[in-house]
A and B are shown apart, each in its own frame.
Chain A
């Protein structure tokens, strides 16, 4: 643990309840600057839901998320949920903060998607360039009438540099969707990096990849962390990858956290082994 570094992400008592189903139950975690942290768990454990809460897709039913020491998401059981709430810590949180995902991205969180969501009709270059839109200072008028030429050129250069760095320069002008799967993943990560995040959230980055590609990806994620000075939070099924690069792991099962610790600790943890029924290898 890098507790000497500042805390980038702090999740406190997050509970997500859909109707009468508690998908995530009282989940808390922390991530420190420069760390690679993984959330694992069997199918249906609530990983993706937790991920969607952190990235602002769903508002949690109860709990709080802080980013860079600043409270960004907070909610408490309201309205119909007031009575129906089945989780814990009711009454602990009293504010309602529900930013849209773009606000969180602006603060420095960027994500990728489990089922790659690139912009289909656009080239690799455009995909990266659009993610730079967030960093503009121009308004719609100055952009239309070309008063932002300097900024525009700068963003184009930055996008090109980024494409070069992630090794997609040879396919710069190809349609994003025409790339092989592995490169699409890479592009999605590059696109997220273009928003200049402090925290990069990867939703099953190795899903659908063969062992060879997975190995490459593992190396790639490590490189990114060092080169772009980002912290990384990932959800993953590939245990090889997780154990290889994560510094700490949180394990979810049936919505609740059953363990957390270093890869070595997790591999020894009985509860985790039980949860996975011994199938800790490639799930």
Chain B
């Protein structure tokens, strides 16, 4: 009896969540059509775009750090691989020589272009999708190679080794000798980017600049949620809680750690690709370890071990640092005008103090290990308890 109830409840929650997600996507679509770049509220779209990039990055990091207990600091490196893969394979041939201005571009192939030649506009979308997936696969492939030696290492050694790998990857991508592929240390641009994502239906032009990244992030995060709730996700959690017990219960540590690591890196790669399409540039020097730290802090802010926490944490982080707290940098904040104090950099100071407070006093972050759906369930439970 209990089990039937259990599975029915599970299904009910998932249908409810799905509905919420659809409503959210519809709102984003609506906003995309109605907020023009010159509008003051366009910051909202910027936050949604960047927020969804970081949300996916944070959730994928959480899969590794929060769910599998592998403290890895190599995220920026995998995002870099994703960003470059995506960028290189979506630069149209007409722009290639301008972009690779100091090199003779070696890869002269663009997915959106090739596919649209065959299939028309739908091909462009497909090309972008293929490039995004390829970005993830590339990151996952590198993660596999890196994982073979380093996943055996324990906690902080793993952290420092993965951090080191991210630095190595960055150096390799900046190497002058790889210039024909990576454009050396110079930036890549002119590839398929969100500002160009538009759909023409008859006479009306539908803007998809925010919708596309939000959609990719949503789908990816749903997949991660599915994975976490599957038997593999439970195995990851058991490794986090007690590695020795997990191994004794027949869970192959090396294999499961590798799965978690590659999947996490796959989505890090996807988020890197999204980062490129949102920023409309890709450059190795942006993917520093500071980026990994920021993502880690988002995860902490939201609560290690909570996917909704990571999403909330990253949107809060992005919104606060890009939008709400901007006044702290430019003289006037909350109506207080104090250019002496509220000058450049103050925002980040306030921000890092908030983070330190969370780290020290609210160690569980916003969500702890709970998900949003748990909160609803708890409320129901409480209501039931009260009725009794």
Contacts and interface: CB of A to CB of B under 8 A. Distances in A.
Given A113-B244, A130-B237, 17 more contacts: A101-B247, A102-B248, A102-B249, A105-B248, A111-B248, A118-B245, A121-B237, A121-B241, A122-B241, A130-B235, A130-B238, A133-B251, A138-B231, A144-B223, A144-B230, A152-B230, A155-B231
Interface in A92-109: 100-103, 105-106
A122 B238 contact: yes
Which residue among B2, B223, B263 has the maximum number of chain A CB atoms within 10 Å of its CB? B2
A16 B226 CA distance: 45
25 contacts: A100-B247, A100-B253, A101-B248, A102-B252, A110-B249, A119-B238, A120-B241, A121-B240, A121-B241, A121-B369, A122-B241, A130-B237, A130-B246, A133-B231, A133-B249, A140-B230, A140-B232, A140-B263, A143-B231, A143-B232, A144-B232, A146-B230, A156-B3, A160-B3, A191-B249
Name B's interface SS: helix
A111 B245 CA distance: 9
Interface of B: 2-3, 6-7, 223, 226-227, 230-232, 234-235, 237-238, 240-242, 244-254, 259, 263, 305, 369
Which residue among B223, B235, B245 has the maximum number of chain A CB atoms within 10 Å of its CB? B245
User: Which 8 A-B pairs rank lowest in CB-CB distance, beginning with the nearest?
Assistant: A134-B250, A105-B250, A119-B241, A143-B230, A117-B245, A144-B227, A131-B249, A130-B238
Nearest to A156: B3
A186 B252 CA distance: 24
A129 interface: yes
A136 interface: yes
Which residue among A102, A122, A153 has the maximum number of chain B CB atoms within 10 Å of its CB? A102
A148 interface: yes
B237 A134 contact: no
Contacts of B3: 156-157, 160
Given A119-B237, A133-B235, A156-B3, A102 B251 contact: yes
A268 to B, nearest CB: 36
A148 B231 contact: yes
Name A's interface SS: helix
Contacts of B305: 121
A103 B248 CA distance: 9
Interface residues of A, number: 43
Contacts of A256: none
Nearest to A131: B249
Which residue among B245, B249, B250, B259 has the maximum number of chain A CB atoms within 10 Å of its CB? B250
Nearest to A105: B250
A55 interface: yes
Given A134-B250, A140-B259, A117 B242 contact: yes
Contacts of A172: 2
Contact of B249 (A121, A157, A195): A195
A138 B233 CA distance: 13
A146 B238 CA distance: 20
B252 A130 contact: no
A192 interface: yes
A216 B252 CA distance: 34
A270 to B, nearest CB: 37
Contacts of B238: 119, 122, 130, 133
Contacts of A101: 247-248
B2 A145 contact: no
A126 interface: yes
A122 B249 contact: no
B369 A145 contact: no
Contacts of A55: 248
